[in-house]
Amino acid sequence: MFGLKRKNKEMILDNIPNHIGIIMDGNGRWAKKRLQPRIMGHKAGMDALQKVTIDASKLGVKVLTVYAFSTENWSRPEDEVAFIMKLPVEFFDKYVPELDKNNVRIQMIGDRHRLPKDTLAALDNALEKTRHNSGLVLNFALNYGGRAEIVETVRELAQDVLDARLNPGDITEDLISGRLMTSRLPYLYRDPDLVIRTSGELRTSNFLPWQIAYSEFYFTDRLWPDFDGQALKEAISDYNHRHRRFGGL
Ligand code: FPP
């Protein structure tokens, strides 16, 4: 999307964003262009995710949060949903060993309740197997919805006030950040510095609405399965050309 402008810009990778969020969009269109069923796009998307994760880890990124399935995605055709839910199972068998070797730790955010049992089991295996790794955190947003996350947090805070464990006056931004699902991430890296969305859509689609308040955004026309290490560097370079002021001067 910003490709033409970017081509004339020098590649700068001095400042690597600690936390990158990715809305991996365009799998279906990638498959359609090749006259393949949509699920082949998700498979190719998983390959891209594996490569990008390792490249990001080599660049020094600390957290990669990827939007793998939103609470709205349940409205897709049943067989597509079933296929996406099987991806973590395949991911664990085929991909996690290499990630583990690269010191990657897997985590997840999202509502576990509606996930099929074997999807959860595969995910929990990956979480457990990589629990002691100290490298990049690959954080899956799976059955995740940002507003639902905030609603849940507000309910918990209201209950704490009712039970006289909390004074409304003590509710701060930091307290709320500490109650969201991203509070399981390393403290300094809870909020994305950079959010990338592929496939040319210019929306945030309920992805981490609280956490992206000060994030930089990078939109590209590239479809997710075509996104690679070079595309990641281009996004990071674009980020390096910006000045982050957090509302100040
Ligand atoms: C959006 O493309 C993509 C998804 C809803 C699924 C993304 C999942 C992966 C890339 C694999 C993740 C891996 C694991 C282990 C869960 P789309 O289907 O909306 O594409 P379209 O907009 O072109 O139709």
pLDDT in tens, 118-176: 999 999 999 999 999 999 999 999 999 999 999 999 999 999 999 999 999 999 999 99
Residues 6+ apart with CB under 8 A from 179: 153, 156, 157
How buried is residue 202: exposed, middle or buried, by Cβ count under 10 Å (0-12/13-18/19+)? exposed
Q: Under a CB-based contact definition with an 8 Å cutoff, are residues 85 and 96 in contact?
A: no
Sign of CA dihedral 179, 46, 112, 106: negative
Q: Please indicate if the annotation marks 78 as binding a ligand.
A: no
Q: Domains plus CATH for the chain?
A: 19-137+185-241 (3.40.1180.10), 146-184 (no CATH)
pLDDT of amino acid 146: 97
pLDDT of amino acid 145: 96
* Ligand 1 atom showing the smallest separation from residue 67 Cα: 7
pLDDT of amino acid 162: 98
The least confident of 90-104, 165-179, 217-231 is: 90-104
The least confident of 6-10, 32-36, 71-75 is: 6-10
Query: Which of 22, 23, 25 best tests ligand 1's pocket when mutated (most atoms within 8 Å of CB)?
Result: 25
Sign of CA dihedral 8, 23, 200, 29: positive
Ligand 1 environment, Cβ below 6 A: 24-29, 42, 45-46, 49, 68-69, 73, 84, 87-88, 91, 199, 224
Instruction: Copy the structure tokens of residue 87.
Output: 């991806």
Q: Please indicate if the annotation marks 28 as binding a ligand.
A: yes
Q: Under a CB-based contact definition with an 8 Å cutoff, are residues 12 and 241 in contact?
A: yes
Q: Please indicate if the annotation marks 76 as binding a ligand.
A: yes
In this structure, which amino acid lies at residue 26?
G
pTM beyond 0.85, yes or no: yes
Active site residues: 25, 73
Distance 175 CA to ligand 1 centre (A): 32
